[in-house]
Structure formats: structure tokens, C-alpha cells
Amino acid sequence: MTTRYTITALVENRPGVLNRVVSIFRRPGLNLDSLTVGRTDRPEVSRMTMVLEGSKADAQHVKRELNRLIHVITVEDMNGTPYVTRDLALIKVKATPDTKSEILQMCGHYRARIADVAASSILIEIVGEEPDIEGLAALLKPFGIIEMVRAGVVAMGRAENILDTHCERSSWAEQRFPLEKAS
Amino acid sequence: MELTGAEIVWECLIQEGVDLVFGYPGGAILPAYDALSSYPQIHHVLTRHEQGATHMADGYARATGKVGVAMATSGPGATNLVTGLGTAMLDSSPVVCITGQVPTSVIGHNAFQEADITGVTLPITKHNYLVTSVEELAFSIREAFYIARSGRPGPVLIDLPKDVQTARTDFHYPTGEINLPGYRPVPEAPEDKIGHARKLIRSAERPVILAGRGVLLSGAVDELREFAERTQTPVGLTLLGKGCFPEDHPLCLGMMGMHGAGHANHAVQEADLLVALGMRFDDRVTGNLTTYAPKARKVHIDIDPSEIDKNVVVDVGIAGDLKQTLSVLLSEIEPIEHGDWVERIRRWRDESEDRELLNQVLQSPELKAAEVVHDLWTLTGGKAITVTDVGQHQMWVAQYYAHSPEHALITSGGMGTMGFGLPGGIGASMGRPDDEVWVVAGDGGFQMTLAELATAVQERVNVKIALVNNGYLGMVRQWQELFYEKRYNATPMVSPDFCALAAAYGIPAVRVTERDQIEPAVRQAQACDDGPFLIEFVVEQHDVVFPMVPAGSDLHDMIRRPKSESAHEKEIQS
């Protein structure tokens, strides 16, 4: 049985780390449905959110192997804890004077923003959970989606479910990667 | 002090206690080799192939417990390291490989002899480095040694572009504790889990300890013995665990698994508690996982948390250092008796004895590999370091040579790398020159890396080679006999005259075809102390390693040797 697993990780912000992480999924032929990486409040630490469509064993395997990587600081499987997810999509949809108001109405319903308006198209920006984005995309489809891009899912646990960022910078790290170089 | 990257490499190796490097020079690593003449403290061993260098570094590491170092140039030099790195990775052997790389300005341009070796070796190293500036070089080397030897050991590769070797920087070896935020090499074993494990141990009626190489790596040999004796728990060994528990001990079951002792496998399948120590439930140990030890609760202690619940889901999984965890666990364990259980295992053991080849009156006059290994064991008093290749002879060494902690088995277990034996043995012998080292290899694997005979001669390595020649890729032939209706495709093997071959290298050699020739040949080899010696043992061609659990079968579903040789012959013919 396949489920969607949302796995978050804190990793060192260094060359090649993404490759190492992605290799864990590639080796047994697992597909990463979504992957986001970005810096945290600490420039030397990046945070990744990975969405895996797979079995429980797949998720356990990924978590185990990620933990073995030297550059991976913390790994959490978010399933089973309360958490918030957000994805962002840009959707360029065909629009004529006849359809424009209907499209704008739908966007209002989904709290989507209009990022750009052109003569024959509207560029819509939506932030929300994946079902919101997929719901709006489905509604817009009959009007003609010209192109669509998604940023990928980011996730964060609610309240006390914190991915620990409190590892102190060691004296070794201070020597090896002076901060002005890391940033 | 301003030094070049090339000089920094050697300075760092010296700081890490390295005095021996196995390698093969080439264009992209030449600056490092050029600087070598300023560092007479380091002895460089020129191998005949880079694969040999990694196996030698690996064999050296396993024999000494120190980090083995191999060096190669970029491109083909680097890709030739791959098999050796994979071998070291799967057997948790601390090896550091340093490769030359094309200059940073042309990396990614398919420059001459360029290979993306950090990309290639990513899944078969514990970690690897591409050093892009000379300022980070010393840090990378120090981290590499730290990662290779700490926690669960493993291989680390450092890729060193040519311009980084020639660039200069102010050098001082970085000191202080290394602390990598994502690397916790020795997890703290939780007290409550140790307590839970104690409860299971106290209430068990049919316990078995499964002991692996982690016992040796952690130095927990005494704790294991104390645990086994105090709780009267029989001990089964993995292939790489051989040596961690005395094999003449009444509680020792010998090796478990695919070619394990029948009584060891029966004990595991009937046990009500397995205590797995520093082993990883490899498929060669468990057979079919769904029917593995079905009646047993399971306790697993390993330093690598990723091994817990990986192959076998356990009742109590403890990630921690074995020696420390066992001593805490033992602090509150009182003596326990398991008389009925030990007695039951003795009956299985009696059956094993009935089927034992060496207890049978053999009808064929041909020399048996089992006799060779058994006699080698008695003639060396069990005090030789045995380094094997991969195949039937490897299993016979596991079955007929009793190992000890000081002389544990050195073999490619996880990866099963044919060709490991000779270079592995050269590395082991160079690491422990005062010990008697025997390479046991088959005619197949030996021919994969026999070019290293020249290395052994050049370095005057006192390695003794027992070449077990059955004219086949014996283990593959055995599978063909048992599972592929004797279609011996691609397994019969024509070989050179090995004694003449040895002579071409200037290596003394003798051929043994009968059992009473074994002792004089071994004695002659033992008397040779100025370089290698080779004995070719011409053995029965169609011999089979028993017992055998077919791949994927239930562990108790063993193909056993019939109780008498005549019955065996009959079965083979039918």
C-alpha cells in the first residue's frame, strides 16, 4: 500500500549534499514526488522537505539511510505528528474578456493572487496545501492552462514538534568554515 | 610554514600515524608522488593494479585495526579503486583512498583521464571529499581519517585536483576535537532498553547469541565470553565474526547461515531468544526472512542505528558501542543455566559430526579441500592470519580453520569480492610482519589479481599462498550442480602451470596432490622467510560445500552431506 510520506531534514549547506540525499531515493528506485531545499535562519544549515509516495518500509528505509549521511543533521518523518504544509504554484491560464471574471472569481475563492495580467492570459499565484493547488488547477483546466510550475511542498510541525536547529556551531566548524566563507 | 598541497598530504598522513601507503602513480597525482621523496617516514608500495592497492589497504586495516591508505591517479586509476572501496564498505573496514583529479579549471570538461570519482563512489564510501582549495585540504584529510575509523568504520575517498596539489598555503595541522553536526559515531545506548533486554535474557529458555565482526571491532571479546558463560548461552558466529569467540568452547556453535553448521542453524530456528551482537542479519545468515527464527524474541545491539530493524524487526534494538553496552548489561545479570537447551543442541551437533566429511572413510583417493584447510589449521596451530578469496575454499576455511581474536578471519564477506585474497593477504602481512600469514585462494579468484605476486616479490612480503585448484569456478559449479541441472556453463577453467608461474616471478612453489604431502609442503613454506611461497593443492574437482541453505530458502532447510561417502556418491550419480 502506498502512502504519501512527508520527510523533513536539516542538512549542512555544502556542495554535493543534495546529490547525496537524492541518491538515497534513487538507489532503490523510489520517486521523489516533491523536494524543496532552502537555507534556514542559519546560513550553514539548509532545510529540506521531501515527499515520497511509497510504502511504510520505503519511508523507514529512506529515513534510516538519510541518517547515515555525514552531512544530514536531523531527519523527521512528519506523518503521525501534526504539521502544516504549503506549496506554491504559478499557473498561466488563457483568458478572454468573456472568461476573465469567472477566472478571477475562482481565484478569489481559493485566495489565489493575480501575479500578472496579459492580453490573452492571466498568471495566477496560489499558496496553499496541495489539494488547494490541485483543486484550483482542475477548475482552471477547461479555460486552458498554458503552463504551470510548483515550488514543492514545505512542511513544519505544529507547536512543540520542532526539527531541532539548536546544534551549536562547534569549534571545529569555526576553524574549518569561518562564517564569512560559509555565507 | 608554507607548503604545497602535495606536501600537506604527506604531512597529514604522518600526523595520522601512517607509515605505509599502497598505490599507483599517474599524471594527476604526480605532484603528490614528487613530494614523497621528502618524507622517508612513509613507505610506498607500488601495486600492479589500483584494485590491489585498495585490497592491500583493506587487508592491512583488518589485520592491524589501523586505517589503511591507498593512492591512485585520476580517471582509470580512480575507477580501478571502486571494487576495493565497495569491499571495504560492506565489511566496515577503515580505508582512506586519495585520488588525483584533473585541475579544477577543467573538471567536468571530460579532460584526459577525468572521472567523476566522488560521484562514482558516493554509494560505496562512508563519505568522500572533492577538495577544491588547498586551504581545506588538511581539514578534509583529518576528517577523512576520523570518519574512516570512528563508529562503524568504513572507507573514505579524497579526490585531489592537480592544481590543489601544487597550490601553496600556510600549513598547520588542525587540532581539537572534530565535531560534525550530522555525525554521531557512537550513539548512547539507552538504559531502559538495556533493562528490557535483561528481562528477555532472564526469561529465555532457549537463547542463542549471534556474534558478528562488531564484537571484534568494539573489542568486546571478553564481554561476549562472560555473557555467554554466565548465561550459558550458545554462540553462533557470522563469517566475519569468526575469531570473536573461541571455537573450541563448548558453547560455540560455529558459523551460522548458508554454509553454517547444521546445529547452529537448527539452534537459531528453535531458539526463543536471539541476542544479535555487532552483526547485521545479512541474507547469507538468515535465509528466508519470513521464516527466520520464528519462535524467538530478538535483541539487537549494533553501533550503527540504521541496522536496527533493517532486515529483521526486533523486540529490543539498542544502538551503541558493544563493549560498553554489554558491560552495562552484564552488571545486573546473574548466572543462568540452560541445561536442557544445551543438551538439545548437543544432539544436533552429534548429527553434524555423523555427517562430517573428515569423520568419514573416504573412498575417492583425491585430495579434499577440507583436508587441506584442516591440516593447515593444525600445522599452524591456529595461529596464522588467514586471508581468503571468495568461493568454496572460503567456506571451507570458515568451516575447518578455527579462528581466534588475535588471528581472526580476513575475508570479503559482504561484497564477496573474488580477487581479494592475494592483495588482502599482502596488506595483512605488511601490517603484521611478525605473524604467519596464509592466503587461501581458489584457481578462479587467484587469477583475478595474481599480478600482485610481483608486488609481494618486490616488497619481499612473507605471505604464504595456498592455492586450492579444482579446475572450476567451484562455488558457481556447485550452484549449477544443485540448482541448474549440472549445466556447467562457463565454469570449467584452464589455468597455467601455477608452479611454473610462481617460478617466473621467482617465487618458490610446490604442488600437492595427496594428503601426506601437505605437511612437508606447509613446513617448507613456513621455513621460507624471505618473500612469498606458493603451494598448489590439486583437489577433487566436484566437491560440494555442505551444508547449504539454497538462496532464499528457510534456514533449517539445509542440503546436508549424506552420512556416508558411498551414499553421497550414489546420490550424485543418480
Report whether A170 contacts A83 (CB < 8 A).
no
Q: What digits encode the pLDDT tens for the residues A15-48?
A: 999 999 999 999 999 999 999 999 998 888 999 9
- On the question of pLDDT at B567 being above 50, the answer is no
Query: How many residues are recorded in chain B?
Result: 574
Q: Rounded mean pLDDT of B275-283? A: 97
Q: Are residues A21 and A45 in the same domain?
A: yes
Whether A82 shows a pLDDT value over 60: the answer reads: yes
How far, in Å, CA of B449 to CA of B52, rounded?
7
Angle between helices B262-270 and B339-355 (to 10 degrees): 150
Distance CA B473, CA B21 (A): 32
CA atoms within 13 A on the CB side of B511: 13
Say yes or no to pLDDT of B574 above 50: no
pLDDT tens-place string over residues B260-273: 999 999 999 999 99
Among B residues 179-208, those touching chain A with beta carbons less than 8 Å apart: 179-183
How is A34-96 classified by DSSP, letter by letter?
A: EEEEEE-SSTTEEEEEEEEEE-HHHHHHHHHHHHHSTTEEEEEE-TTS-EEEEEEEEEEEE--
Number of domains making up chain A: 2
pLDDT the model gives residue A180? 64
CB contact under 8 A, A73 and B182: yes
Phi, psi of A74 (to 5 degrees): -145, 145
Residues of A in contact with B132 (CB under 8 A): 15
B305: how many CB neighbours lie within 10 A of its CB? Answer: 18
| A130 and A169 in a common domain | no
**In the predicted model, is pLDDT for residue A181 greater than 60?**
no
**Contact of B399 with B237, CB cutoff 8 Å:** no
Widest Cα–Cα separation across chain B: 78
Question: With 90 as the cut, is the pLDDT of residue B361 above it?
Answer: no
Compute CA distances B477 → B471, B472, B474, B482, whole Å: 10, 7, 5, 9
pLDDT digits (tens, 9 = 90+) for B37-60: 999 999 999 999 999 999 999 999
d(CA B459, CA B44) in angstroms, rounded, equals 10
Average pLDDT over residues A136-164: 94
Q: Are B129 and B160 in contact (CB under 8 A)?
A: no
Name chain B contacts of A170, Cβ cutoff 8 Å: 177, 179-181
Residues A15, A55, single domain; the answer is yes
Q: Left if phi > 0, otherwise alpha if psi is -120 to 50, otherwise beta: which for B414?
A: alpha
Q: What is the structure's pLDDT at B360?
A: 85
Does residue B573 surpass a pLDDT of 80? no
Q: Tell me: the pLDDT tens digits for B232-250? A: 999 999 999 999 999 999 9
Taking a contact as any Cβ pair under 8 Å apart, which residues of chain B between 162 and 181 contact chain A? Answer: 174, 176-181
Q: Determine the CATH number of domain B2-170.
A: 3.40.50.970
Q: Which among B123, B136, B179 has CB closest to A27?
A: B123
Lowest mean pLDDT among A140-149, B414-423, B565-574: B565-574
Per the CB < 8 A criterion, the answer to whether B256 and B235 are in contact is no
Taking CA atoms, A161 is separated from A24, A39, A81, A158, in Å, by: 25, 19, 7, 6
- pLDDT above 70: percentage of residues in chain B: 98
Please give the pLDDT value at position A176. 86
Q: Which residues contact A165 (CB under 8 A, 6 or more apart)?
A: A10, A40, A41, A42, A45
**Which residues fall within 8 angstroms of residue B512, CB to CB, at 6 or more apart?**
B367, B372, B518, B521, B535, B536, B537, B538
Mean pLDDT for the stretch of residues A155-165: 86
Q: What is the C-alpha separation between B72 and B100, in angstroms, rounded?
A: 6
Give pLDDT, residue A163.
86
Question: How do residues B83-141 score in pLDDT, each as one tens digit?
Answer: 999 999 999 999 999 999 999 999 999 999 999 999 999 999 999 999 999 999 999 99
The pTM of this model reads: 0.95
- Asked if residue A69 and residue A33 are part of one domain, the reply reads yes
Q: Which three three-digit cell numbers place residue B96? A: 582512506
Angle at B520 between CA B519 and CA B521, to 5 degrees: 90
Is the fold of B2-170 the same as that of B191-348? yes
Give the single-character DSSP code of B352.
Answer: H
Q: CATH number, domain at A77?
A: 3.30.70.260
Torsion of CA B459, B461, B465, B471, to 10 degrees: -10
Establish whether B162 is a catalytic residue. Answer: yes
Q: In B16-133, which residue ranges form alpha helices assigned H by DSSP?
A: 30-35, 50-64, 76-79, 82-90, 117-121
* Coil/strand/helix, residue B65: coil
Q: How far apart are CA B331 and CA B430, in angstroms?
A: 40
Q: CA of B176: which chain A residue's CA is closest?
A: A172
Residue B447 has pLDDT above 50, yes or no: yes
Residue B255 appears among annotated catalytic residues = no
Residues A147 and A162 reside in one and the same domain: no
Strands (E), B429-560: 437-442, 463-469, 509-512, 533-538
Residue A77 and residue A163 share a domain = yes
Question: Does the domain at residues B367-540 carry the CATH identifier 3.40.50.970?
Answer: yes
Examine the pLDDT at B435 and tell me if it is beyond 80.
Answer: yes
What pLDDT sits at residue A182?
A: 46
In the chain, the amino acid numbered B60 is Y
Per-residue pLDDT band for B256 (boundaries 50, 70, 90) equals very high
User: Of the candidates A23, A69, A175, which has its C-beta nearest B182's C-beta?
Assistant: A69
Whether the pLDDT of residue B379 is over 90: the answer is: yes
Helix (H) or strand (E) holding A21: helix A17-26
Give yes or no for B122 touching A (CB within 8 A).
Answer: yes
Find where cell 582549495 sits.
Answer: B133
Q: What pLDDT, in 10s, does the model give residues B288-316?
A: 999 999 999 999 999 999 999 999 999 99
Domain positions in chain B are 2-170, 191-348, 367-540
Cell numbers at residue A52, please? 515520497
CATH class label, B191-348: alpha beta
Task: Provide, as residue numbers in chain B, all residues whose Cβ is less than 8 Å from the Cβ of A68.
Answer: 304, 306
A69 in contact with chain B, both atoms CB, cutoff 8 A: yes
Pairing relation of β-strands A83-94 and A121-128? antiparallel
Better-predicted residue by pLDDT, A181 or A9:
A9
Q: Which of A52, A51, A54, A65 is nearest to A20 (CA)?
A: A65
Q: Residue A5: pLDDT above 60?
A: yes
What are the backbone angles phi and psi of residue A73, rounded to the nearest 5°?
-90, -50
How confident is the model over A149-167, as a mean pLDDT? 87
Q: Where does residue B538 fall: left (phi above 0), alpha (psi -120 to 50 degrees), or beta otherwise?
A: beta
Which residues in chain A touch residue B174, judged by CB atoms under 8 angstroms apart? 172, 175-176
* DSSP-derived 3-state class of residue B44: strand
- At residue B210's C-alpha, the angle toward residues B208 and B211, to 5°, is 135
Q: Give pLDDT tens digits for B1-25.
A: 899 999 999 999 999 999 999 999 9
For A145-171, what is the mean pLDDT? 88
More confident residue, A165 or B489: B489
Inform me whether the pLDDT recorded for B568 exceeds 80: no
d(CA B1, CA B171): 5
Burial of A149 (0-12, 13-18, 19+ CB in 10 A): exposed
CA dist B145 and B22 (Å) reads: 16
Contact B306/A67, CB-based, under 8 Å? yes
Among B117, B122, B124, B123, residue whose Cα is nearest residue B159: B117
Measured on CA atoms in the order B310, B316, B320, B323, is the torsion positive or negative? negative
By the 8 A CB rule, do A9 and A68 touch? no
- pLDDT, mean over chain B: 96
- Distance between CA A1 and CA B473 in Å, rounded? 42
Model pLDDT, residue A167: 66
Q: Which of B283, B364, B291, B376 is nearest to B544 (CA)?
A: B364
Q: Which three cell numbers stand for residue B540?
A: 577433487
Does residue B565 surpass a pLDDT of 60?
no
Domain encompassing residue A149: 86-153
Give the tens place of pLDDT for each residue, B501-528.
Answer: 999 999 999 999 999 999 999 999 999 9
Reply yes or no on whether the pLDDT at A166 is more than 80: no
Are the C-beta atoms of residues A45 and A11 closer than 8 Å to each other?
Answer: yes
Q: What is the CATH number of the domain that holds A134?
A: 3.30.70.1150
A105 lies within 8 A of chain B by CB? no
Position A117 pLDDT exceeds 50: yes
B112 in active site: yes
Contact with chain A for residue B76, Cβ under 8 A: no
- The vertex-B309 CA angle with B304 and B310, nearest 5°, equals 75
Same domain, A75 and A103: no
CA distance B17 to B15: 5
Q: What are the Cα distances from residue B173, in Å, to B135, B136, B169, B270?
A: 11, 11, 12, 55
Task: Write down the pLDDT at residue B338.
Answer: 97
Q: Which of the following is catalytic: B66, B126, B162, B193?
A: B162
pLDDT in tens, B182-201: 999 999 999 999 999 999 99
Q: What is the structure's pLDDT at A175?
A: 87
